[in-house]
Amino acid sequence: MSDEEQVYQSPLGQYLDAVVSPTEAFQGLKARPRWLVFFLITIAVSLATLPLLMPYSVAAQQDAINEILRENRDVMPAERVAQLEEFRDQAGTGFMGEVLPYLAVPVSLFLYLLVASAGLNVGVGLTGEKLGFRNAVSIVSLASVARAAGAVVMLVLVLVKGDVYVGANLGRRFNRMPAEWDTKVLKGFASQIDVFSAWSVYLLTLGVREVTGLSTKRSFRVVIILWLLWALVMTALSYFRFAH
């Protein structure tokens, strides 16, 4: 073990160090790969923000439905109008509204962890270096501190503005519900770009560099290609979810 590699006895300390001293934090991963505590902290922070965010999310859903009804009620079949009104009135209630959001957070983060780790492992492998899935999971889990920070900042912005339609991503420069398909695609892609996604790319690049010894340029190339693929997938999902 080199003198530069720091062994962290406290995973919480290492997680917090990823904010203020990320290079040292990822050097600690090389000395001692671990991921579970990092992953659980990210889940805990994300879940802790949900009870405060939920009322604003429900209000946003209801406002969106009211806008659709206001603009299209005259041309919609009566049964479709009734369905939308029922969905609006039941927003935030029952299993879908009260339980599913709390299940979706750990499930979506776990899927992200698996997909991102697999992609990172394969991407590094294509450069001729060896990362290993365990190291990839450790890097992605520690870099998820950016996601936790994003959840906290999002909560603060929502509480200040009183609306969930806030944030630093570029999708906020578009109309809330664009009608044209190309604008929906552009909005979906722009929504993936914000200060926290940039921070994640930076942390992942550091992690690959410190664990594998790849240069910063080659590490960044691997990470940015994977991020672009991820952003394209999320854009497609967003389009097909909200296309009318």
Mean pLDDT per 10-residue interval, the chain, length 244 residues: 64 94 93 92 95 92 88 89 91 90 94 96 96 96 96 92 78 70 79 90 97 96 96 84 52
Provide the strand spans (E) within the chain: none
What is the amino acid identity at position 51? Answer: P
**Contacting residues for 17 by C-beta, under 8 A, at least 6 apart:** 8, 24, 25, 28
Helix or strand run (H / E) with residue 32: none
Q: Are 164 and 56 in contact (CB under 8 A)?
A: yes
Give the per-residue pLDDT at 26: 95
What is the amino acid identity at position 120? Answer: L
Q: What is the spatial distance between Cα 200 and Cα 154, in angstroms, rounded to a whole number?
A: 16
Helix or strand run (H / E) with residue 29: helix 22-31
Dihedrals phi, psi of 168, to nearest 5 degrees? -105, 0
Give the per-residue pLDDT at 71: 85
Give the per-residue pLDDT at 179: 66
Give the per-residue pLDDT at 176: 67
Radius of gyration of the chain (CA): 21
Q: Are 121 and 131 in contact (CB under 8 A)?
A: yes
Give the per-residue pLDDT at 3: 44
Q: What is the spatial distance between Cα 41 and Cα 32, in angstroms, rounded to a whole number?
A: 18
Give the per-residue pLDDT at 163: 83
Q: Tokens 């899935």, residue?
A: 133
Give the per-residue pLDDT at 192: 85
